[in-house]
Amino acid sequence: MTKLRGKQTTQRILNAAAGIFSDVGFEGARVDEIARVAGVNKAMIYYHIGDKKALYARVIHHAFGNAVEQFTRNIKSTQSPQNKLRAFIRTVVEVVDRHPELAAIMLREQASGGKNLPETVAQDLARIVGIISGILAEGAQKGVFVKTIPFVVHMMIIGAVVFLKMSSPIRSKFPALSDTLSISGDKVSDMAAAEIENLVLNAVRK
Amino acid sequence: MTKLRGKQTTQRILNAAAGIFSDVGFEGARVDEIARVAGVNKAMIYYHIGDKKALYARVIHHAFGNAVEQFTRNIKSTQSPQNKLRAFIRTVVEVVDRHPELAAIMLREQASGGKNLPETVAQDLARIVGIISGILAEGAQKGVFVKTIPFVVHMMIIGAVVFLKMSSPIRSKFPALSDTLSISGDKVSDMAAAEIENLVLNAVRK
DNA sequence: GGATGGTTTAACTAAATAGTTAAATTATTC
DNA sequence: GAATAATTTAACTATTTAGTTAAACCATCC
């Protein structure tokens, strides 16, 4: 019971922290505010997790935890390179839709040069880049993809998905941008995701 | 002399602020720190510019000021759709290379749903999206581009360029990511930029 | 040199901040 | 029920924060 209570408290803290770090960044986040949103006394954050930096690392790790597993689960070795690439893109969409806070936090880390990024997350990222490199290399070897720079393709996919997802509130907010994508909403829409697939498959097709 | 002195003071404040806002975001930035970096007394920020929010808006506007003009200057109506698109991409690279603080601040704004974004900047963004929409529509009409969603293509280009630029310090920092792009450095390298051009032109080619 | 206007400074204000402490409360075990 | 351990609380600490104020300083003009 005590163990369960501690876990629930920790979970509430991590959820609140994820939202606030994604909204105002590490330096802009207030531990008092995180405590308030989590519905706990501030000292409990220090008791259960640690200082602000430890909390941040925990949030990222918690959200990033199984992204790599999702990629390896969704991409089967028996698939063609084209279908592997499609599965990769779909997984990116899935991860970003399920963890918008993670996407926002990663945007902020990019903006500050990875200043508060734990080493473990960098390793996860490297593995994901390894996956797409493998797909593109296989496609090139089988003569169905052009030879290209895998990291650039990776950036195009991640960039398009994340920017589409993250720009949704901005588009809603400003009338000038409302018409840029006729289908709006919180999710990366199926139509937009399909278009990213088409464009990326076209881009690498030999 | 007095006028010149006020201008120079303002410039120093804006430069310092741009760096700090890009590094730690709006909420994370400290007016005291901006003043220290600018080498001025804090009250001068309030005298010359105004409160923190006014300073932020001024920084964005100052950096964004002539981005739209750059696009219209670089893209000639006599060019083919393909060359227009190339010029568009090259301009994105140029703007991001010249104003990395702008790119970082825009990443942060995306992360927080455009919370502190002035309306004028949204209008500038809409005009840029209008430019690429025009290029793609012209290409489709001339039968050289597929019919697509212009905003998605825009996000792919912006996302790739910005992520490549912004991920450079992260790649330098973490050994696990050092091999992802064999040519590193601060600029979006010519090779990477050329590859983005190739991939995007391939993606939209009919 | 004095008047005027612009710029800068040092000190201030009220509130907020990350982290700490020790007591109170709750849960578990025998 | 008592002892022990885990969790939570309220208050605290020293520092920092955005913004303000009035005086000092500087530049220009007649």
A156: contact with B, CB 8 A cutoff: yes
Quote the pLDDT of residue B24. 95
Same domain, A107 and A50: no
Quote the pLDDT of residue A180. 67
CATH number of the structural domain spanning residue A36:
1.10.10.60
Quote the pLDDT of residue A1. 53
Interface of B with A in 42-71 (CB under 8 A): none
Same domain, B139 and B42: no
Residue at which a domain ends, from A10, A31, A59: A59
Find chain A residues with C-beta within 8 A of B152's C-beta.
Answer: 160, 164, 181, 192, 195-196, 199
Q: Rounded distance, CA A93 to CA A82, Å? A: 17
Q: Is A44's CB less than 7 Å from nucleic acid strand D?
A: yes
Residue A184 pLDDT grade (very low, low, confident, very high; cuts 50, 70, 90): very low
Chain A / chain B CB contacts < 8 angstroms: 215
Q: What does the DSSP 8-state code read for residue A175?
A: G
Q: Rounded distance, CA B51 to CA B28, Å? A: 15
Same domain, A73 and A30: no
What is the count of structural domains for chain A? 2
Element (H, E) at A158: helix A150-173
ipTM of the shown complex: 0.89
**Amino acid code (one letter) for A8:** Q
Same domain, A144 and A187: yes
Average pLDDT over residues A41-50: 95
Quote the pLDDT of residue B184. 47
Q: Which two tokens stand for residue A23?
A: 């909204």
Are A141 and A81 spatial neighbours (Cβ–Cβ below 8 Å)?
no
Q: Residue B82 — φ and ψ, nearest 5°?
A: -65, -45
Tell me, in Å, how far CA of A117 is from C1' of C28?
Answer: 39
Same domain, A108 and A160: yes
Q: What is the pLDDT of residues A14-32, one digit of tens each?
A: 999 999 999 999 999 999 9
Residue at which a domain ends, from B16, B33, B62: B62
Residue A182 pLDDT grade (very low, low, confident, very high; cuts 50, 70, 90): low
Are A89 and A157 spatial neighbours (Cβ–Cβ below 8 Å)?
yes
Same domain, B72 and B132: yes
Residue A117 pLDDT grade (very low, low, confident, very high; cuts 50, 70, 90): confident
Same domain, A178 and A135: yes
Average pLDDT over residues A168-192: 71
Q: Which two tokens stand for residue A88?
A: 């990769």
Q: Is B37's CB less than 7 Å from nucleic acid strand D?
A: no
Between A163 and B175, the more confident residue is A163
SS3 B145: strand
Task: Provide the residue range defining the domain that includes A76.
Answer: 65-204
Average pLDDT over residues A1-15: 83
The answer to whether B146 contacts A177, with C-beta atoms less than 8 Å apart, is: no
Quote the pLDDT of residue B161. 94
The answer to whether A180 contacts B122, with C-beta atoms less than 8 Å apart, is: no
Q: Which two tokens stand for residue B127?
A: 């005009």
Element (H, E) at A125: helix A119-141
- pLDDT tens per residue across all 206 residues of chain B: 566 778 889 999 999 999 999 999 999 999 999 999 999 999 999 999 999 999 999 999 888 877 888 999 999 988 999 999 999 999 999 999 988 999 999 999 999 988 888 888 888 888 999 999 999 999 999 999 999 999 999 999 999 999 999 888 888 888 777 766 654 455 667 788 899 999 999 999 98
**Partner residue facing B162 (CB), from A159, A174, A181:** A159
Are B92 and A155 spatial neighbours (Cβ–Cβ below 8 Å)?
no
Q: Rounded distance, CA B193 to CA B157, Å? A: 10
* pLDDT over 90 (residue A174): no
Residue A108 pLDDT grade (very low, low, confident, very high; cuts 50, 70, 90): very high
Same domain, A69 and A130: yes
A115: contact with B, CB 8 A cutoff: yes
